[in-house]
Amino acid sequence: MFKRNPRNSNLNKQILSLAIPNIISNLSVPMLSAVDTALMGRLENEQYLGAIAIGGIIFSFVYWGFSFLRMGVTGLTAQAYGAEDSTESVLILKRALIVGMLVGLLLIVVQPLIAAFSFYLMDAGPDVERLARSYFHIRIYAAPATLSLHVFHGWFLGMQNAKYPMFVTIAVNLVNLALNLFFVKVLMLMSDGVALGTVIAQYFGLLCTIGLFLKRYRHLWNGWHLNEMLNLPALKRFFGISSDIFIRTLSVLFCHAFFTSKAAALSDTALAINAILLQFIHILAYGTDGFAFASECLVGRYKGARNIANLKSTVRYSFCWALVLSAAFSLVFALFGTHLLLFFTDKADLLTGARPYLIWIVIAAPINSVAYIWDGVFVGATASTAMRNSMLVSTAIFLLTYFLLSSLGNHGLWMTLTLFSIARGATLTFLAPKHIFSLDLPQKRGLK
Distance CA 164, CA 209 (A): 8
Distance CA 356, CA 182 (A): 35
CB 370, CB 380: distance < 8 Å: no
The domain limits of the chain are 6-435
Distance CA 283, CA 277 (A): 10
Distance CA 404, CA 401 (A): 5
Task: Give Dmax (Cα) for the chain.
Answer: 64
CB 381, CB 75: distance < 8 Å: yes
Residue type present at position 76: L
Distance CA 18, CA 295 (A): 9
CB 123, CB 45: distance < 8 Å: no
Return the closest-CA partner of residue 340 out of 25, 46, 34, 23: 34
User: What is the b/e burial string over 217-248, where b = at least 16 CB atoms within 10 angstroms of the residue's CB?
Assistant: beeeeeeeeeebbeeeebeeebeebbebbbbb
Per-residue pLDDT of the chain (448 residues; tens, 9 = 90+): 444 555 567 888 889 899 899 888 776 665 666 666 666 766 666 677 777 778 777 887 777 778 888 888 999 999 999 989 888 899 999 999 999 999 999 999 999 999 888 888 776 677 788 888 898 899 999 999 999 999 999 999 999 999 999 999 889 988 988 998 898 888 888 788 888 998 999 999 999 999 999 999 998 887 777 777 777 888 888 889 989 998 998 898 789 888 888 888 888 788 888 888 888 888 888 788 889 989 999 999 998 888 888 899 999 999 999 999 999 989 988 888 788 888 777 777 788 888 888 889 999 889 999 999 999 999 999 899 999 999 999 999 999 999 998 888 889 999 999 999 999 999 999 999 888 887 554 444 333 3
